Amino acid sequence: MISRRSFTRAVAVSAVATSLPAVTATTATATAGNTSLGRIKHVRAGVLDIAYAEFGPRTGQAVVLLHGWPYDAHSYVDVAPLLAAEGYRVLVPFLRGYGETAFRSPDAVRNGQQSAVALDVIAFMDALRIEAAVLGGFDWGARTVGVVAALWPRRCKAIVSVSGYLVTNLKRNLEPLPPAAERGWWYQYYFATERGVLGYRRDRHAFNKLIWREASPRWDFDDATYDRSAASFENPDHVDIVIHNYRWRLGLAPGEPRYDRYERELAAAPAIAVPAITIGSDFDGAAADGSSYRDKFTGRYDHRVFDGIGHNVPQEAPVPFAQAVVDADHL
C-alpha cells in the first residue's frame, strides 16, 4: 500500500488517501506535483541506444513503465517517485522515436510494429541485467506489456495494463467498426495519407496537444506539462515510427521479416498467464468494465475502473496507478 509518508516524500502533497480502488478527476489533479525525471541515462540495447529515467534503489524489485503515443516518459513523473519510496527500482524508458532514444545504425528500419517495440524492452532489460520485472503501461505501452507477457512470460513478475488486452491482430484489424467507433480513430486514417504525414511532420506539437485534449477531456493540464512531453516528439525518427505503427496496424505498411514468427504467435491472440491488474478509464467507454477481455488473463487477476480519468492514466491518476503496480507485485 502506498503510505502517506511515502507519498509526502515523493510528491510533497499534504493529504491523500492510502488506498484508491477508484479515483475521480478532482483527486487525480490534486496528486500531481513533480516536473522532472532527473538525469536521463542511456544504455545500448539491441538496435537502440535507449534513453531512460531511473528511480529508487538498484537492489529493489525492478519495475519497467512504458508510455504511449503521443506521450513520453513524463507520464510517470509522479508514479515513479511513489514506487521508489516503496523500495522499487523504477525504470522509465523512452520508446523508439521519442526523446533521446536513437537507432544505433542509420540504416535501421524505422519500424513501429508491436513485436519490434516489445523486443526493445527485452533488450533493455537484458542490457540492465534484469531477469524479471513488474511491467506497466498504457496505449503503446500497454500493448507492449501484453506482447512481452504473452511471448516472454518469465520476464514478467506481474503486469499492469491500461485498457486491458491490446495485442494487435492484423487480420481482425481489417474488419470495420461501427461508424461511431470508427470516428474515434480519425487520426489513423489521416496518417494513412501522404497529406497526413506532411501535416504531422509540420505541426506535430499542435496535433498531439489536440489528441491529449480529445483523449482526456477532463484533465486540466497546463502548457508546461504538455511541453515537457512534446520535446520528445522532436526526435528525428518520431514521425517515421508513428506513421509506420499506424499504417502497419491497418495492413498498409509491411513489418520486418525478422519479426514474422512473433507476429504469427500474436495473431493467435495468446492468453496472458502472469499476474495482472487491468485498468479501465473513461477513455475506454463501454469497455471500461473489462468484461470484453477478461478471458485473455488466465493467471491471478484484478480489474479496476478509474472514473473521471482519460487516456493518460498514470499522469492523471498517479496514486492509484502506483497502487496498482504494488498490488500486482503482490498478487
- The confidence score (pLDDT) of residue 173 equals 87
Are 167 and 266 a contacting pair, CB within 8 Å?
A: yes
Query: Alpha carbon of 178 to those of 192, 218, 252: distances in Å?
Result: 19, 25, 21
Among 153, 151, 146, smallest CA distance to 167 is for 146
- The confidence score (pLDDT) of residue 3 equals 55
Helix then strand then coil, % of the chain, to nearest 5: 45, 15, 35
- The confidence score (pLDDT) of residue 27 equals 38
Give backbone dihedrals phi and psi of 240, rounded to 5 degrees, phi first: -60, -40
Quote the cell numbers at residue 102: 536513437
Query: Alpha carbon of 133 to those of 81, 89, 181, 274: distances in Å?
Result: 17, 10, 35, 11
Question: What pTM, to 2 d.p., does this model score?
Answer: 0.92
Eight-state DSSP code of residue 243: H
Among 71, 62, 65, 82, smallest CA distance to 16 is for 82
Please calculate the CA angle 206-48-69 and round it to the nearest 5 degrees. 25
pLDDT in tens, the chain (331 residues): 665 445 444 444 323 333 443 444 333 343 458 999 999 999 999 999 999 999 999 999 999 999 999 999 999 999 999 999 999 999 999 999 999 999 999 999 999 999 999 999 999 999 999 999 999 999 999 999 999 999 999 999 999 999 999 999 998 888 998 998 899 999 999 999 999 999 999 999 999 999 999 999 999 999 999 999 999 999 999 999 999 999 999 999 999 999 999 999 999 999 999 999 999 999 999 999 999 999 999 999 999 999 999 999 999 999 999 999 999 999 9
Residue 113: exposed, middle, or buried by beta-carbon count in 10 A (0-12, 13-18, 19+)?
buried
Eight-state DSSP code of residue 297: B
Dihedral of the CA atoms 239, 240, 246, 252 (nearest 10)?
140
* CA gap 305, 260 in Å, rounded: 35
